[in-house]
Amino acid sequence: MSRSLEDQTIIITGASSGIGRAASLLLAEEGARVALAARRRERIEALAEEIRDSGGEALAVPTDVSNRVEVEALVGTTREALGPVDVLVNNAGVMPLSPLAELRTEDWERMVDVNVKGVLYALGAVLPEMLERRAGHIVNVGSLAGRRPLSGGTVYSATKFAVRALTGGIQLELSGEYGIRVTDIQPGVVDTELMDHIPSEVIHDRFDAGWQNRRKLEPRDVARAIHFALSAPQHVNVNEILVRPTDQLT
Ligand SMILES: NC(=O)c1ccc[n+]([C@@H]2O[C@H](COP(=O)([O-])OP(=O)(O)OC[C@H]3O[C@@H](n4cnc5c(N)ncnc54)[C@H](OP(=O)(O)O)[C@@H]3O)[C@@H](O)[C@H]2O)c1
């Protein structure tokens, strides 16, 4: 069977859990060489080993995406070990939801640092080579929350609105002239560790109660959307994919 991503070098940020982990496994199964980035070294090293054991090619590069120097090093290390970066999957993200009135301003700042600045640092680090090669694909994992504000998640939503705006701007500026494709993947609720870090009890309880008898997406459902965008022919620019659980209405 042909593997759709043969010969592609792909960086996946936030590869240590959830959607990033599932995407790393699927893209490696499809033949890509994957560079796995996240802060938890032991998790990405174990995942890289798992991929290599099944015949794939993977490299673990411990990285904090909110640190520009580390992100530049990630791209350099990947290029040296696996070749020029064909695809960047900007997936790392945090979602410490809380009502604005709780004034958790440190969390607001962390969301901007990881969800927005992290995306920009990675974009800035891969672009020079992509512009030169006139090829590349940027996949940003945004959110359904990037299409409408989320009560109790205003700042998180704002970061994902930013991701959507960036995606639109990349398409306008870089797709035609440079052949660089771009996709904003917008999942609804996915069963991952993301909710474990919600500091506000009010939001946590509301979320748990609301989802007790409903089925969330699995990380692999979102990985499949990422794969769909990446495996489209070069003349097809899949710019947005909104994927909700059937049980999620808004
Ligand atoms: N789950 C959902 O319902 C949902 C819905 C819509 C969108 N999303 C988006 O999907 C993406 C992935 O989230 P997930 O649901 O898979 O959650 P997750 O399981 O918590 O995964 C988040 C990933 O981001 C990484 N990360 C966090 N801070 C980082 C940093 N400073 N530097 C590098 N990596 C960092 C984490 O790794 P380390 O902790 O090891 O660094 C982890 O691998 C996020 O952008 C999220 O906003 C999720």
* pLDDT tens-digit map of 65-99: 999 999 999 999 999 999 999 999 999 999 999 99
Q: Check if the beta carbon of residue 185 is closer than 8 Å to that of residue 222.
A: yes
Asked if residue 3 is part of any domain, the answer here is no
d(CA 42, CA 27): 21
Asked if residue 175 is part of any domain, the answer here is yes
Please report the beta strands in the chain, taking only residues with DSSP state E, as ranges in sequence order.
Answer: 9-13, 33-38, 57-62, 87-90, 136-141, 180-187, 240-243
Task: Show the tokens assigned to 152.
Answer: 């109790």
Task: Show the tokens assigned to 25.
Answer: 């496994």
Give the residue numbers spanning the domain of 49.
9-233
Task: Name the residue among 43, 199, 219 with its Cα closest to residue 111.
Answer: 199
Asked if residue 247 is part of any domain, the answer here is no
- pTM here is 0.98
Asked if residue 243 is part of any domain, the answer here is no
Task: Show the tokens assigned to 135.
Answer: 């090829």
Atom nearest to 216 CA in ligand 1: 3
What's 36's domain CATH number? 3.40.50.720
Give the tens place of pLDDT for each residue, 203-232.
999 999 999 999 999 999 999 999 999 999
Task: Show the tokens assigned to 160.
Answer: 């994902």
Asked if residue 249 is part of any domain, the answer here is no
Task: Name the residue among 187, 32, 2 with its Cα closest to residue 12.
Answer: 32
d(CA 121, CA 180): 17
Q: Which of 11, 17, 89, 216 to mutate to test the pocket of ligand 1 (most atoms within 8 A of CB)?
A: 17
Q: How confident is the model at residue 140 (pLDDT cuts 50, 70, 90)?
A: very high
What is the domain count for the chain?
1
Atom nearest to 145 CA in ligand 1: 6
17 pocket-lining for ligand 1 (C-beta < 6 Å): yes
| Mean pLDDT score of the chain | 97
Q: Is the pLDDT of residue 1 over 90?
A: no
Quote the percentage of the chain above a pLDDT of 70. Answer: 99
Task: Name the residue among 2, 29, 9 with its Cα closest to residue 224.
Answer: 29
Give me ligand 1 centre to Cα 188, in Å: 14
Q: Is the pLDDT of residue 2 over 70?
A: no
Asked if residue 241 is part of any domain, the answer here is no
Query: Coil, strand, or helix at residue 60?
Result: strand
153 pocket-lining for ligand 1 (C-beta < 6 Å): no
Asked if residue 244 is part of any domain, the answer here is no
Give the residue numbers marked as catalytic.
156
Q: How many alpha carbons fall within 13 Å on the CB side of residue 34?
A: 34
Q: Which of 12, 13, 16 to mutate to test the pocket of ligand 1 (most atoms within 8 A of CB)?
A: 16
Q: How confident is the model at residue 3 (pLDDT cuts 50, 70, 90)?
A: confident
116 pocket-lining for ligand 1 (C-beta < 6 Å): no
Fill in the DSSP letter of residue 218. P
Asked if residue 96 is part of any domain, the answer here is yes
Give me ligand 1 centre to Cα 18, in Å: 7
